[in-house]
Amino acid sequence: MDGLALLFAATLNAGTVLGFAGLGLLLNERAGIVNLGAEGIMLVAAIAGFAATVHTGNDWVGLSAGVAAGGFLAGIFGVLVIWLNTNQFATGLALSLFGAGVSAFLGIQYVQEKLPERMQWTVPWLSDLPWLGAAVFRQHPLVYGAIALAFALTWWFDHSRSGLILRAVGDAPASAHALGFPVRWIRFAAVIAGGALCGLAGAYLSIVYTPLWVEGMVAGKGWIALALTTFASWRPGRILLGAYVFGGVTMLQFYLQGEGIEVPIQFLSMMPYLATILVLVIISRNAAWVRSHMPASLGEPFTPGA
């Protein structure tokens, strides 16, 4: 049983990176914007955070640097896509490419750097509980932060005025505009906030998860996060669950290998993607379901007065 508890704990940790990125992309997509540049944002945030931690010795400074870097890059993306109405997909891809190159370039002198010795975070008293203690209460504070954020966003989208405005902007920008809301500024804010969360994910990866900098270390998690929003049908709680599923698949592979169970790992790795397609098919079949889930203006540019 102990093995399972540890598997659970590892899954929570692995899923946190995807969780933050997924929630960030969710913010974007709820406002109607698809950001294919998540991978690039995460990479730049990872090196920014790592470098900041190397120089200041303080994790939280590093994490903040990652958040700032993410927000900044997302801001550039936002200017292009919202104010200059460039194609969202092409711009996002450019950001991914650019982010990969810039992060590798900036990271060259940090490749052999190490961070101060990592500590094991534990929740006092709760971490001594049998099974649950090992499974849940020996995590970095941000793991709980991600869970809290998911709850907060669920509440915010459904019950707060600003959350509903954001959803209106994503579902029917023209109507929101007619009602007098500054659609483009709201979208811009969503893009920056989303980018900041992606940045947090990237920085968490390079500071907490694998305290190293290596070129390309995000290794596709940005793209997986994009799948997450669809897989979760745009609900924050499901995004986090999906993040644990996607993140957990790798840990599950190793667990099964360790137990001697023979499954071709590639097929195991395919499961999350197949599942995403399945979910997409299911929710898209019914137009009403689609309306109630997917932001209607997703991917489309908005020009006031158009």
Site for another protein in 224-243 (CB under 8 A): 226-227, 230
Per CB under 8 A, 132 contacts another protein: no
Per CB under 8 A, 54 contacts another protein: no
Per CB under 8 A, 189 contacts another protein: no
Comparison of 197 and 225: residue with beta carbon closer to another protein? 225
CB of 28 to another protein, least distance (A): 14
Comparison of 166 and 251: residue with beta carbon closer to another protein? 251
Which amino acid, one-letter code, is at 249? V
CB of 45 to another protein, least distance (A): 15
CB of 14 to another protein, least distance (A): 6
Query: Site residues for another protein, window 138-177 (CB under 8 A)?
Result: 177
Q: Which stretch binds another protein (CB under 8 A): 113-121, 124-132, 142-150, 196-204?
A: 113-121
Cα–Cα distance measured from residue 94 to residue 164, given in angstroms and rounded to the nearest whole number: 31
Number of residues this chain uses to bind another protein (CB under 8 A)? 89
Sign of CA dihedral 45, 47, 50, 54: negative
Per CB under 8 A, 292 contacts another protein: no
Query: Site residues for another protein, window 84-103 (CB under 8 A)?
Result: 84-87, 89-91, 93-103
Comparison of 112 and 125: residue with beta carbon closer to another protein? 112
Tokens 């137009």 belong to residue: 287
Query: Site residues for another protein, window 11-40 (CB under 8 A)?
Result: 14, 34, 36, 40
Per CB under 8 A, 288 contacts another protein: no
Per CB under 8 A, 296 contacts another protein: no
Q: Which stretch binds another protein (CB under 8 A): 18-26, 57-65, 156-164, 284-292?
A: 284-292
Query: Site residues for another protein, window 194-223 (CB under 8 A)?
Result: 205, 209-212, 214-215, 217, 219-220, 223
- Which of 57, 60, 114, 296 binds another protein (CB under 8 A)? It is 114
CB of 33 to another protein, least distance (A): 13
DSSP string, the chain: -HHHHHHHHHHHHHHHHHHHHHHHHHHHHHTT---TTHHHHHHHHHHHHHHHHHHH--HHHHHHHHHHHHHHHHHHHHIIIIIS---HHHHHHHHHHHHHHHHHHHHGGGTT--PSPP-----TTGGGSTTHHHHHSSS-HHHHHHHHHHHHHHHHHHH-HHHHHHHHHHH-HHHHHHTT--HHHHHHHHHHHHHHHHHHHHHHIIIIIS-S--TTTTTTHHHHHHHHHHHTTT-HHHHHHHHHHHHHHHHHHHHHHHHT----HHHHHHHHHHHHHHHHHHHHHSHHHHHHHS-TTTT----TT-
Q: Annotate each residue in 242-261 with x if it binds another protein (CB under 8 A) or - if it does not, as one string.
A: --------xx--xx-xxxx-
- Which of 54, 61, 104, 172 binds another protein (CB under 8 A)? It is 104
Comparison of 155 and 210: residue with beta carbon closer to another protein? 210
Are 138 and 122 in contact, with CB atoms under 8 Å apart? yes
- Which of 132, 164, 178, 296 binds another protein (CB under 8 A)? It is 178
Angle at the Cα of 287 from the Cα atoms of 285 and 289, rounded to 5 degrees = 85
